[in-house]
Chains A and B, each alone.
Chain A
């Protein structure tokens, strides 16, 4: 054997080692520990389905009050946020990217407006979250404006620390993750295709649906995967903006780790992982990512 095939691995080796050490092994450990047992102060190696049973405890039937078990209702609430945020960021991100890609004609202005959109992304997420507090609070800017205009008599209470503020913060934080990949795929569309569509008598809407949207599929998919995985695993945004009142899958895992219940947290992480992978798999059924790249 010659030494040729080895050489590139000298270059990629350190990079690969990081992922082996800090990604592959930790994930394997999560799966392994999810089958372990534990007591108050230590982990007990072994094989038991106890953690999984406890994750799904009571999920085979409705409770006496007609509610779902904790795990299912938490997942449903997280999925609800996921769907809402995905829908809003997709429509908003697509519209902004469409405007930048097809309606702004000068390349210089296009770059300038694009950078304008990315600047808030440089500010800390926590800062961007708490910046909604003076906007939405009881005596906040929005309530002040509403009362000043005489639209409401007393401050609107559901603006802050509610599902509304959680969704708003997600949209504020992560619409960029939609804009960037969609804008990228829009910029790669051959402009003569649009002229051809218009020559063939297509209206602007028909061009949008029949030409632009199909050609942006990969961008839409990449953006969607980002938004879905971020919202599904989130505990910071839902915690801070929900006033620590709204349960989420990520929050459960975080609380269980803080009580050192690692096998429980690991079992929850495995369930979360499987759920997210199923969503991504479903998305890639719609779009073949490898063909699009």
Chain B
């Protein structure tokens, strides 16, 4: 039928499908990237009328009533906190599952359930929870007669309370499942060797386990950040008075009718690429270092 060196039957049709898929994924992105450099007279569609940074400048000057800079910072802060907590919570949880963990099965199923739960349901639940907390707090403050506090009490809903929780229900399952994959392939002989040499469990973890699992752990953190940076559905009902960048963006899609919105798209894309590039660089650096250390 065919020689060993020849392409398997179906290679070229499949290669064409793959090529078209890649074009389909990148095409629209490339179009808005291009259109964000539209000239001052240009609109939301082709043809390009000149080539300028006009829309980036108008973006920097602000888009109407929405403070994009503040939303940007909020999303960045939230993303970084989510990233840190995703790593700080899923790595120990992954370690715990390697031992006999009573109720571990239930915890695993809850984690998976959180992953496949429609986001709007989680979002509604958290929003509801914090509204009931508000009602309870107001009743409590009224009952103890703290009138000043009651007058100043706004809401418990917020970026680092309800929204943070909503994001973690989305990032932690990915973190735990990644840790499962990591520890499935992990050779416990290294830990035993450390223990035999007299290392405490903590020393064994910091000096032996952590360097070995560092690249995927960075991956978990990076994934946590990007999931949070982009999250809308779980944040929508659970954020309160302020908005994250994706929520503001979503609102802007219907009100802003200039290429400034494409400029904004280009800027946010560049930010996520920078974050991922940084994480990748760090991961490569660590891998190279661990390779030079181990024989």
Contacts and interface: CB of A to CB of B under 8 A. Distances in A.
A172 B102 CA distance: 42
Interface centre among A11, A98, A116 (most CB of B within 10 A): A11
Interface string B219-255: 0000000100110110011000000011001100110
Interface string A124-159: 111111111111010111001000000000000000
B158 to A, nearest CB: 13
Contact of B35 (A103, A134, A233): A134
B243 to A, nearest CB: 12
B230 A125 contact: yes
Interface stretch (A20-28, A55-63, A69-77): A20-28
B127 to A, nearest CB: 7
Instruction: Classify the secondary structure of B's interface with A.
Output: helix
A226 interface: yes
Instruction: Classify the secondary structure of A's interface with B.
Output: helix
B290 interface: no
Nearest to B236: A254
Contact of B124 (A95, A240, A257): A257
B28 A128 contact: yes
B46 A134 contact: yes
A65 to B, nearest CB: 30
A130 B97 contact: no
Interface in B166-205: 166, 168-169, 172, 176
A146 B27 CA distance: 17
Contacts of A242: none
Interface of A: 4-5, 7-12, 14-16, 18-19, 21-27, 29-30, 33, 42-43, 92, 95-96, 98-100, 102-103, 113, 116-117, 120, 122-135, 137, 139-141, 144, 172, 175, 204, 225-226, 229-230, 232-236, 240, 244, 250, 253-254, 257, 262, 265-266, 269, 272-273, 276, 280
